[in-house]
Amino acid sequence: MKLPAYRASGATLPYGNLLASHDVAMEGYFWRFTMPGSGRVVIALAGINKSDSGNWSTLGLAAHPGRFLRTAEHPRGSADPRTLGAYADNVFRGNADRLQVDFGDSHLDVRISNQRFWPHHRFGGSSYFQSVPALNQYWHPWLLGGRVEGSAVIDGQSWDLTGAQVYGEKNWGKGGFPESWWWGQAQGFTDPRACVAFAGGQVSAGPLRTEVTAVVAALPDGTVLRLGNPLTSQVETTVSDDRWTLRGYSRKWSVDIDGTAPIADAHILPVPIPAERRNVPGALEHLGGTMSVIVRRRGTIVWKDRSRLAALEHGGLDRAQAELTRREQLSQDR
């Protein structure tokens, strides 16, 4: 397989460019801003999707407290083939340095500097799975902190985002999202340099089907560790709609994560069906959950803390649709 075709399958060689578009069915971009002082969180997302009739976009802006959410199926979209960048006319424009989202009554405009980029050059968040062609999903947490300057208007109310803790990731795949997945991310710990993220789900490529979870922990001392290779650093995962329990370990490190959040507080986020040019309810995502983390080095605790502004997600089309139906029924019964 020649290199252009290999990359167009979604795969990336070791030391390759994970931020640029692979030109697959879905290129997903996600930013999260956490403000421990005010207890507020804002997320922005863009999926640049391909169909036979051209590119289109899944766009979203959401906030906590509350269940504020604006989404759109935008008829156009582009992903930068050279570096990180997602664009949908003037509705969504995001790169490594600036993010602008405009839904009319709600919008966001921030600049990001002093970025704490992913430090490992050989592999990204998906580790050696990034080199396997044609997986349904790849994941890379490229931004683990930085300096934020800017603001947002959320449902008519102005929010100052200057000084927020920032996280950014990218995911992409040949068919959109897996049948089932789980994900989490947290800042808002006692030390603002700490950042934790995990992602897992049903991964497939042709007849290959397996379940994989990756855990990333950026520690206050600057260490960034990743666990989740099935042979060398396994992650045991138990997930329900209101609890996330992960135990990751290697010969040197172990990470324990416990997350909780009531399903009634979750945002129901859209996911794209790229070929059909439409979004469907797909992800139950909490923006203000609780995440406790313990990191050990050769059995000795080197960092532990708790965030009460954690993102915790359980994804699956059937699951999200069932919760949406339940809420609609409750609304009708009132």
Q: Name the residue with higher pLDDT: 231 or 273.
A: 273
In this prediction the pTM is 0.96
State the Cα–Cα distance between residues 9 and 131, nearest whole angstrom. 10
**Per-residue pLDDT tens over the stretch 170-224:** 999 987 677 789 999 999 999 999 999 999 998 776 777 778 999 999 999 999 9
245 neighbors 238 (Cβ within 8 angstroms)? yes
Cβ-count burial of 140 within 10 angstroms (0-12 exposed, 13-18 middle, 19+ buried)? buried
> What's the pLDDT at 209?
76
Question: What b/e readout covers 160-193, taking b as 16+ CB neighbours within 10 angstroms?
Answer: ebeebbbbbbbbbbbbbbbebbbbbbbbbbeeee
> What's the pLDDT at 58?
98
> What's the pLDDT at 317?
80
93 neighbors 87 (Cβ within 8 angstroms)? yes
What letter represents residue 229's amino acid? N
Q: What is the mean pLDDT of residues 289-300?
A: 98
For the cut 90, the answer to whether the pLDDT of residue 318 exceeds it is no
> What's the pLDDT at 190?
98
> What's the pLDDT at 176?
66
Distances (CA, A) of 116 to 89, 224, 284, 312: 28, 11, 28, 22
Q: What is the mean pLDDT of residues 82-88?
A: 98
φ/ψ of 149, rounded to 5, equals -135, 125
Going along the chain from its start, the domains and CATH numbers come out as: 3-333 (2.40.370.10)
> What's the pLDDT at 233?
92
> Is there a cis peptide before residue 65, judged by omega within 30 degrees of 0?
yes
Q: Name the residue with higher pLDDT: 191 or 321.
A: 191
Average per-residue pLDDT in the chain?
A: 94
For the cut 70, the answer to whether the pLDDT of residue 1 exceeds it is no
36 neighbors 165 (Cβ within 8 angstroms)? yes
State the Cα–Cα distance between residues 195 and 267, nearest whole angstrom. 22
- DSSP bridge partners of 164: none
Q: What is the mean pLDDT of residues 3-16?
A: 93
> What's the pLDDT at 309?
98
**Per-residue pLDDT tens over the stretch 28-84:** 999 999 999 999 999 999 999 999 999 999 999 999 999 999 999 999 999 999 999
Q: What is the mean pLDDT of residues 319-323?
A: 84
